[in-house]
Structure 1
Amino acid sequence: MDPSLLPSLAWFAHVARHRSFTRAADEMGVSRAALSQSLKTLETQLGVRLLYRTTRHMSLTEAGQQLFDALAPTLAAIETAVHHLGETEGRPSGLVRINTSRLAAKALIEPHLGEFQARYPQVTLELVMADSLANIVADGSDVGIRLGRSLADAVVAVPISPPLSMAVAGSPAYLARHGTPRTPADLADHRCINYRFTGSGALHDWDFKEPGKAGRHFTQAVTGTLITNDDQSMTRAALQGLGLIQIVDIAIHEQLADGRLLRVLDDWTHHHPGFHLYFSSRDHMPAKIRALVDFLVEKRDGGMRL
């Protein structure tokens, strides 16, 4: 069927239901003349007369009645579906696929899963763990969670954690054997456990800021005998005394608190934008996505636990 006929068929159905050009035109917010012309064009396109018209009355021809009988249930079903869609979009429900780093999932989502599901019982969350930055459109995800500094300008990003600091840390046994670095340049004499980004394949250059408000930012290449693409693997290696690591401080909160790891070079570290929830557009945001955004923003200040 020619799709261009659809608007005229809908207009015909309005006229046929009301048996009146005037009432149909008023309901649709168009002029009677425009409606009449549209139906004349439809009759020409179909090659059949649909309406009998006089100056005072209008009725359906046999062909017009057959067409209306076929159109009415279909249009009613479409109207019901559109109405139901509007109701559904107002109530959070359905699947939300979240592409997230393991650390962000552990710190921001997992501690609050019970509360979120109690509040939104009709929303299903699917966590897709990936440490490399994901293109959520190509990945088929609804949203992603990553550190703010890694995000492209093209996405909409909402901060869902406070700013974070990168910590350089090692075990007491390692520091006892190899000494404590006083400046980033001293790392040349240390074994450093490094991280390789899965997506780009690049090694992480450790980043620092010179002490003082006006201190410049710079990166430092490091060397060692272990490279991994997993934060937890880095932490376990550091606990065994295999070298120093640079990692987001919240990832080793417990190990720092109980003394299994010790921070070094604190005067040279600085804060970075924290975790952000990112998505492709704010336009026509489904209620389920809005619910997740609002929930994580609500938990942002003080809701991050490991």
Structure 2
Amino acid sequence: MHFSNYNEILAFIAVAKEGSFTKAAAKLGVSQSALSQTIRTLEQRLDLRLLVRTTRSVSPTEAGEHMLRTVAPRFDEIEAELAVLSERRLKPAGTIRISAGEHAALTVLQPKLTELLLQYPDIHVELIAENRMTDIVADRYDAGVRLGDQVAKDMIAVRISADLRWLVVGAPSYFARYPAPLAPQELTQHNCINMRLPTHGGIYIWDFAKDGKDLKVRVEGQLVFNNLGLRIKSALDGLGLAFLPEDQVRPYIEQGRLVSVLEDWCPVSPGYRLYYPSRRHPSSAFTLLVDALRHPG
């Protein structure tokens, strides 16, 4: 027998447990007459008498006792499980998978996630640092991180960092051997430290801009890495020029261990955005993570 809803059974359970139509109606927030009609409809549907009504009390029949003993506990279990789900909503939990480039993972995500994870121990984050243009939907990530001008228009994007700048730097020992470039085109005459991108195994092309003019330069050199730390270390060792995030090299410039060149060709670019599909219904854990990463500016 198919029930389109189970309100009739819940009504019977309330009356049987209370032993009174009046008390059960007050508990359910319905009129006594409406409750009586609901019970009659259930008895007609089952073709069974479930309650014995007297002028003083209401008690279950043998069939009613059986239903109360076997069916009512299942509704109690359902109610308990729904309470657990509600508690999970109120107590954020779950695993969030994020794809981000190495620089963003190190400088933006990891520092900002520390406080969140300490405050909410049931939230777990899987952060995959990879320098490729990831399809977060196909690869089953909850979110990704890219520069502001690289996020697809159909995604929700949340700013999580200030604007960024990349600088061309080299060690004083390198410039003792080679003259500093005066224009980006002259980089083709220098030993440059390259970065290999996972996508199609390509080499990153250095991007410059000045006075509204964009310029891309394909450089060459003895070293190719897919790691930020190795590129910084090689530049410090005087092995070549590197194109690196300003926040990572500015301390070395101030210490005199690196020299920045072509700064007028190195404009500020949009900062990082956390992005995710617009159709995603965010969990409480994901909402908390977005708020923790959101840039105040």
TM category, shorter: 0.7 to 0.9
Distance 1:121 1:293, change over 3 A: same
Distance 1:283 1:126, change over 3 A: closer
Match of 1:15 in 2: 11
Q: What residue ranges of structure 1 are gaps of 5+ in the alignment?
A: 302-306
Q: How big is the shift at 1:171?
A: 1.4
1:166 correspondence with 2:198: no
TM-score for both structures, normalised by structure 1:
0.75
Match of 1:261 in 2: 258
Q: Deviations over 1:140-168 (max 9, x none)?
A: 54333333333333332211110101111
Contact 1:205–1:221 under 8 Å retained in 2:
yes
SS of the residue corresponding to residue 251 of structure 1 reads helix
Distance 1:51 1:256, change over 3 A: farther
CA distance in 1, matches of 2:49, 2:200: 67
CA distance in 2, matches of 1:287, 1:135: 24
SS of the residue corresponding to residue 274 of structure 2 reads strand
One of 47, 50, 71 as aligned partner of 1:49: 47
Contact 2:50–2:63 under 8 Å retained in 1:
no
Q: Deviations over 1:9-68 (max 9, x none)?
A: x23322322447x959x759xxx6xx96xx67x94xxxx535579xxx999776565455
SS of the residue corresponding to residue 270 of structure 1 reads coil
CA distance in 2, matches of 1:193, 1:161: 26
SS of the residue corresponding to residue 146 of structure 2 reads strand
Distance 1:188 1:130, change over 3 A: closer
TM-score for both structures, normalised by structure 2:
0.77
SS of the residue corresponding to residue 272 of structure 1 reads coil
Q: How big is the shift at 1:124?
A: 3.7
Contact 2:50–2:62 under 8 Å retained in 1:
no
Q: How big is the shift at 1:225?
A: 2.2
The percent of aligned pairs where both chains have the same amino acid is 32
Contact 2:164–2:268 under 8 Å retained in 1:
yes
- Which of the pair has more CA radius of gyration? 2
CA distance in 1, matches of 2:248, 2:48: 73
The correspondence of residues 11-90 of structure 1 with structure 2, limited to 5 A, is 11-19=7-15, 23=25, 43=45, 48-50=46-48, 66-67=66-67, 69-90=69-90
Distance 1:65 1:117, change over 3 A: same
Contact 2:170–2:240 under 8 Å retained in 1:
yes
Residue correspondences, number: 287
Q: How big is the shift at 1:112?
A: 4.8
Match of 1:304 in 2: none
Distance 1:102 1:17, change over 3 A: same
Q: What residue ranges of structure 2 are gaps of 5+ in the alignment?
A: 16-20
Q: How big is the shift at 1:113?
A: 5.4
